[in-house]
Amino acid sequence: MFKNIYDWLDERLGLNDLYTNLLDRPEPKTTWWNTLGSASMFLFIMQGLTGIFLTVYYTPSPDHAYDSVQYIMEGVAFGWLIRGIHHWGATLMVVLVFVHMLRVFYTASFKFPRELTWLIGIGLFLTTLGMGFTGYLLPWNQKAYWATTVGTQIAGTAPFLGEFILKALRGGPDLSALTLQRFFSAHIWIIPAVLVGLMGIHLYLIIKHGESHFPTKED
Amino acid sequence: MSGSHELSRRDFIKVTTGIVGGLIGAVIGLPSIYYLIDPALREGGKEAWIPIGKFEDMQVGVPYPFSFTRVQVNGWERTASSFGGYAIRKSDSPEDLLVLNSRCTHLACTVNWHEESDAYICPCHDAKFSMAGEVLDGPPPRALDVYDEHRLTADGLIEIFFKEA
Ligand code: HEM
Ligand code: FES
């Protein structure tokens, strides 16, 4: 009975093919280093879920952002757990993505035909950093405020366009309600959307080309 | 696994992944549900005795207006809400006091006592209530609500018992 339903669905959706291609595709001899990409993806999903939960109580306005974070930590059941996972997951994700990139570099896996996988990967690394940068401001405490002041100031030292970049990031010459609001928007909508898109291409390319062999002495 | 009772290496991985995944899911998933519904599980209803005026200032047979505000904390925000009503003395005894809530039982506007009409009149849909709070006219479904517990303090103040919604 269940088999019949499954077969009916499989004929139309290609479930078996999906399974084989996603989870059961042939791999060269791999090591734990090959799991770092999947680990980054897992962390991204965790960040997404805990982030969605945080928005249930967080509010991105200068007069309430700090209090709402305080409320999450002390007023809501398991708020500390959700925020804790999101907080430490953010740091861990940057580290993992970076180590994943190092391993791809050291095993020379970025070469033909995987150059685009590498380039997309650089986009993934930069957007991951962007998530960290925009997320850091959201608690609107002293550290967040000054870190963003400094961070945007550094971006402002770029030649020619510096002042424009600084104003575009801050939504004006100074850190204000506009800065908090646009960082929030970037953190929960814009950057994740870009990241998901890049991840999709990244994964497609990995499935298309398969995992690379680690180079041997002869290579 | 064909025919053998031993778990193949692949099936072992599948089962382990399933169990570990399930555990992680439960450890994070269940608290997440609690986190979401937490505000719905809160006991509201803070209670207080609130002074509404001096007993000697209330005249027999004349509605005595009073009002007070309460601050409610909702998450990270405080909201002040106003409440009000009329105390009506029926005799010399402080027991013989009727304390009405001036919140209209139709759609919650505030009713006012009008001496010349001998009624509380609601500005919103022209409801009329008698001095004792009964509906005389208009859309309200029931009489005005009553603060049913009150007491006289040693300083001659009337206090009513108030419970937040
Ligand atoms: C959000 C961040 C990222 C995610 C979710 C992600 C995900 C993945 C996954 C699941 C794999 C296959 C398993 C593996 O080899 O580990 C992979 C492979 C790969 N990644 Fe990433 N990745 C990310 C960032 C990067 C970065 C920053 C680079 C380099 C700039 C990069 C370059 C590559 C390359 C070239 C491969 C192919 C490796 C091979 O075939 O041996 N990725 N990625
Ligand atoms: S609210 Fe009082 S009559 Fe409608």
Cβ–Cβ < 8 Å for A120, A202: yes
49-88 in B: which are within 8 Å (CB) of A?
75-77
Cβ–Cβ < 8 Å for A53, A82: yes
Residue partners of A178: CB distance under 8 A and separation at least 6: A170, A171, A172
Question: b or e along B24-63 (b: 16 or more beta carbons within 10 Å of the residue's beta carbon)?
Answer: eeeebeebbeebbebeeeeeeeeeeeeebeebeebeeeeb
What angle is formed at CA B13 by the lines to CA B7 and CA B17, rounded to 5 degrees? 130
Whether the pLDDT of residue B1 is over 50: the answer is no
User: Which of the 8 DSSP states describes residue A173?
Assistant: S
Question: CA-CA distance, A179 to A145, in Å (whole number)?
Answer: 10
With a pLDDT cut of 70, the percent of chain A lying above it is: 100
In Å, how far are A84, A184, B37, B73 from A46, measured between CA atoms? 12, 18, 20, 32
**Does domain B47-163 fall into CATH 2.102.10.10?**
yes
Question: CA-CA distance, B1 to A168, in Å (whole number)?
Answer: 61
> Is A137 inside a domain boundary?
yes
pLDDT, tens only, B139-151: 999 999 999 999 9
pLDDT, tens only, B34-55: 999 999 888 777 889 999 999 9
Tell me what the mean pLDDT of segment A136-142 comes to.
96
In Å, how far are A136, A145, A148, B25 from A175, measured between CA atoms? 14, 8, 8, 39
CATH code of the domain in which A107 resides: 1.20.810.10
B33 touches chain A (CB under 8 A): no
Interface test with A, best of B10, B17, B74, B76 (most A CBs within 10 A): B76
| Sign of CA pseudo-dihedral A199, A200, A204, A205 | negative
Q: For A42, which residue in chain B has the nearest alpha carbon?
A: B21
Q: Determine whether the shortest distance from the Cβ of B24 to ligand 2 is under 6 A.
A: no
Tell me what the mean pLDDT of segment B91-99 comes to.
89
Q: For A84, which residue in chain B has the nearest alpha carbon?
A: B28
Question: CA-CA distance, B162 to B103, in Å (whole number)?
Answer: 14
Tell me what the mean pLDDT of segment A51-62 comes to.
97
Question: CA-CA distance, B56 to B60, in Å (whole number)?
Answer: 10
Contact list in B for residue A53 (CB cut-off 8 A) is 32, 35-36
Whether the pLDDT of residue B2 is over 60: the answer is no
Tell me what the mean pLDDT of segment B87-110 comes to.
93
Average pLDDT, chain A: 95
Q: Determine whether the shortest distance from the Cβ of A206 to ligand 1 is under 6 A.
A: yes
Tell me what the mean pLDDT of segment A163-177 comes to.
95
With a pLDDT cut of 70, the percent of chain B lying above it is: 97
What is the span of the domain harbouring residue A159? 36-209
DSSP string, B86-142: EEEE-SSSTTSEEEEE-B-TTT-PBPEEETTTTEEE-TTT--EE-TTS-EEESS-SS
pLDDT value of residue B10: 87
pLDDT value of residue B3: 53
Q: Where are the domains of chain B?
A: 1-41, 47-163
Q: Model pTM? A: 0.79
Question: b or e along B69-108 (b: 16 or more beta carbons within 10 Å of the residue's beta carbon)?
Answer: eeeeeeebeeeeeebbbbbbbeeeeeeebbbbbbbbbbee
